[in-house]
Chain A
Amino acid sequence: MSSASRRITPISGMMLFAVVFYAAGYILFPMYALVKESLMGIGQLSFEPYRQFFRSSLLEASINSISISLLSVLGSAAVGTFFAYVFTFFEFPAKSFFSKLVLVPLALPPLVGVISFLFLVGESGMLSRVLALLSGASPSLFTVNGWTGIVVVHVYSFYVYFYLFVSSGLSQLDGNALDASASLGATRARTILKILLPMLTPSLVGASLITFMSSMASFSAPFLFGGATRYLTLEIYAAKLNGESSSAAALSILLLTISVCALFFLRWWQAHKQYLLSSKGTIRVSAVPHGKLTRILVIFSAFALVSLFALPIITIVAISFVKEGSWTYQIFPTSFTGKNYLHLFEEPRLLEPLLNSICMALVATAGVVCLGVTASYLINRKHFPGRRLLEVILSLPFGIPGTVIAVGLILGFNRPSLFSFDSILIGTFWIMPLAYAVRNLPLLYRSTTAGFEAISPSVYEAAETLGSSQVRTFRKVIVPLLLPSIVSGALLVFINSAGEFVSSILLYSYSTKPISVEILSQLRLFDLGVAAMYSTLLMLMVLAVAAFSNRYSRATIAT
């Protein structure tokens, strides 16, 4: 690659300034406020909050968090990659419908997902009761809880990361390489193992990282499903509830450290496995040749899995029609009503939380797309000192529990500062999109970077050799090639923001109440039906957005 194109120009210098300002002001500054709280929270310098690290209950919590997160990564990788593979390489009826269905677990805010699982496979869940009835055994045999419960919920919530990342990796894959491998006499298994998997490494690493960090930072699942299982995020929550904010801050820093270690490890590992393929001519996605029996088996198991994965969604939709208080010891709810939905039309005020969420998620997504693509471009295509450090800082927030991010933002922005342009952000509209952006930028950054890594440098070297300016290359070559990655990343950001709960609950004020907080309020208020109704609306919205972005990205590629 020409070194000239990697140099920082005035334009890219300004871009770099924006990214550094963001990283310093909205990631490091709140974290600094957090560290300060952990050391100075009681008015003077004290390491007391760190002494609790030697407690046995905390060790147990750390081991649980790490092991459960690793299991969640393995499970999600298996399921997500399988789906991505099937939907890329196989043709079957209603494929596009199913490919959207696979995305839907994303739309269940973690809280709602967990609750639908409780209704399904909790001790008095429908599935547990039905299976118990059929087999004559006790329902507790079919109940998942504790470790299994948390892992199952995690896999369900996080396999989508693998599905999206691997799908976008596969869509940029050059089918010629696979054909070449096959015609050179490699078996299918060997082709998959030696060509497909290595080429997917960036996607797999990106998704593993996000899944691991999300699992470490997961709160709703261990909270509702874990029973007495100790988990780091729960320890933080307990400390905060108990009024020990310094101790909560210290625990957050521990959690952060573990996540950063994971980030470094995966980066190091990926650096040892770099594969780049340079393609000539157009990239062509072709089917890996499969036998008829394999085809049928694979498609059948995909159908079975998708249907199984649709159950929690069906549960939520069904519960949104259940009449309050009518479902107790029966296996299935008995009386249904459309009242929950009718209310929505009678009282437009009820729509407000949904509109708030859409509005704030859009603002956050726009910000994340601008900054994330810029950052990814600079880090992957430019040489400047501290490049890797900047990348680590930008990816950090994904390893930080939402609660901690929110507390950091509160500690950092409850007084005027340079980064809040001399105003107090707490209690305003802006703090929520800011929190969403900080939390989700790593998603877009990872998916865009995976896109960058899959593009051979020779593509824009060619553009530049042909006399195209850097800006023109960026707009006309890089962005179009990256578009699938950007769109899938932006989709994730929007969906995550629209359903975000953990930091919203700390940051919302009465005029910015988001839908997830409304769902929790309804649950607290015992209106399961209304909570399920809001969850259903949220899912429909995500489906609509997914359909839109699908069509949009396809249309752009075609032109």
Chain B
Amino acid sequence: MRKLICLCLLLTPAGCSHSDRTPLVIYSPHGKDMLEDFEKKFETANPNVDVVWLDMGSQDAYDRIRTEKANPQADVWWGAPSTIFMRAAKEGLLAPYRPSWAEHVAPESRGVNDTWYGTFITPEVIAFNSRLLTNDTAPKDWEELLDPKWKGRIVLRYPLASGTLRIIFSAMIASAVTKYGSEEKGFQWLRRLDSNTKSYTSDPTQMYLKLAREEATISIWNMPDIVLQSKINNYPFGYNFPASGTVVLTDGIALVEGAKHLEVAKKFYEFVTNEENLLFQANNYYRIPARIDIQKEKLPAWITSTTYTSMPVDWDLVSHHESEWMKKWDEEIKGRGGNNE
């Protein structure tokens, strides 16, 4: 025992600590490959900076930044749906910054008082296992997902933890409010979707796996990830854009209020959103740039050739009610459809 204690006294925290370069801490859901690429790119351009990224879901990142408010750990928050940024801005979690390209984005890609800006446009899709279904046999619109023949064939990410599904679910309710003046039609759709849903997975990976391994045939997710998974991992995934119009969300970037390395953070902000790097992200990671000043000819063919209708959504309404709606879904709808595990 004395030996053990001596050993531990020797192990001071200094033994576990790092280099003397300026650390720059990024919270981001963009995935290891893309984050590693930009860590290297930025460090090459700024050798005195040590880029450290923590990969986490956008809802988790929001929760973490809120928790750390008294002693912020992150500098840059790269990636979350606009509605999450809207709420974070209201809670005073974001530091205002006006990027050099601020003029060149659509109004819905611009946060109040420059708190955040849009980086990517992400259309949501109905994803399916392409060994079992084709674009023709798979559901082609939101309503078709409710068909009894898909009962027990749908797998979804657990929506409370997923920025993507929260937005889709909330958008369905918001559009019901706009169309019919009440939330009820939207909840009805969610209730029927729940009764067709086989299970809710705790992370995207489990969802991909269940889809790839034929435990389920259909899911709802964003297009870039579905394309990326089928290219990188050869998973048999295909997708349809819902015909009546799909939810298109704006993915953004922001500086964290109270960030400890604000100047370097601004540099990083500009760096990952300059034209060259947006094109790199489009070519390698299937991200559609939100900046509208990039010439069409420079964009990869998969963007220019893709056409979809977007669903009109009142994003302010979504940002305002999302928590309340998701709580109601969790308490009253989840698993009540009768077909869940």
Contacts and interface: CB of A to CB of B under 8 A. Distances in A.
A410 interface: yes
A510 B52 contact: yes
Interface of A: 55, 57, 118, 122-124, 145-146, 223-224, 227-230, 238, 240-244, 324-329, 355-356, 359-360, 362-363, 365-366, 369-370, 407, 410, 414-415, 424, 426-427, 429-430, 479, 483, 486, 490, 506, 509-513, 521, 523-528
A356 B16 contact: yes
B63 A241 contact: yes
B70 A360 contact: no
A365 B8 CA distance: 9
B341 A224 contact: no
A243 B206 CA distance: 25
Contacts of B33: 525
B8 A362 contact: yes
B323 A124 contact: no
Interface in B170-214: 199-200, 202-206, 208-210, 212-214
B45 interface: no
Given A227-B340, A329-B212, A525-B205, 17 more contacts: A118-B206, A227-B335, A228-B335, A228-B340, A241-B59, A242-B323, A244-B327, A328-B212, A328-B236, A359-B13, A365-B8, A407-B67, A414-B71, A430-B13, A506-B64, A524-B55, A524-B204
B330 interface: yes
B104 interface: no
Interface in B86-137: 87, 131
B16 A510 contact: no
Contact of A242 (B5, B202, B208, B326): B326
B307 interface: no
For B52, B59, B203, the residue with the greatest tally of chain A CB atoms inside 10 Å of its CB is B203
B306 interface: no
Contacts of A429: 13, 16-17
Interface string B55-79: 1110110111011111101000000
A362 B11 contact: yes
A424 B16 contact: no
B160 interface: yes
3 interchain residue pairs of minimum CB distance? A228-B335, A325-B233, A227-B341
B322 to A, nearest CB: 9
Given A124-B215, A524-B55, A325 B205 contact: no
Contacts of A227: 199-200, 335, 340-341
Nearest to A143: B341
B4 interface: yes
A230 B332 CA distance: 12
13 contacts: A57-B331, A124-B215, A228-B335, A230-B335, A242-B323, A324-B233, A328-B235, A362-B11, A365-B4, A510-B25, A513-B54, A523-B203, A524-B56
A243 B330 CA distance: 14
A430 B12 CA distance: 10
A521 B55 contact: yes
A477 B335 CA distance: 58
B232 A240 contact: no
Contacts of B300: none
B205 A124 contact: no
Interface of B: 1, 4-5, 7-9, 11, 13, 15-18, 23, 25, 31-33, 52, 54-57, 59-60, 62-64, 66-71, 73, 87, 131, 160-161, 199-200, 202-206, 208-210, 212-215, 229, 232-236, 323, 326-327, 330-332, 334-335, 340-341
Given A145-B341, A227-B199, A365-B8, A329 B73 contact: no
Nearest to A362: B8
Contacts of A356: 16
Contacts of A124: 209-210, 213-215
A357 B15 CA distance: 12
A543 to B, nearest CB: 18
Given A359-B15, A511-B17, A426 B70 contact: yes
B73 A510 contact: yes
B203 A486 contact: no
A346 to B, nearest CB: 14
B324 to A, nearest CB: 9
A521 B215 contact: no
Contacts of B16: 355-356, 359-360, 429, 511-512
B63 A414 contact: no
A241 B160 contact: yes
Contact of A524 (B199, B205, B214): B205
A163 to B, nearest CB: 23
Nearest to B62: A243
A392 to B, nearest CB: 27
Nearest to B25: A510
B26 to A, nearest CB: 9
B32 A521 contact: yes
Contacts of A366: 4-5, 8-9
B152 to A, nearest CB: 10
A516 to B, nearest CB: 14
Nearest to A373: B1
B34 to A, nearest CB: 10
Given A124-B213, A329-B131, A363 B73 contact: no
A549 B111 CA distance: 57
A83 B5 CA distance: 32
A523 B11 contact: no
A105 to B, nearest CB: 21
A368 to B, nearest CB: 11
Given A238-B160, A238-B330, A329 B70 contact: no
Contacts of A355: 16
Nearest to B60: A241
Contacts of A486: 1
Contacts of A483: 1
Given A227-B340, A359-B11, A509-B73, A325 B1 contact: no
Contact of A415 (B8, B70, B160): B70
A230 B64 CA distance: 24
B237 to A, nearest CB: 11
A370 B341 CA distance: 46
A242 B8 contact: no
Given A228-B335, A410-B67, A430-B13, A369 B1 contact: yes
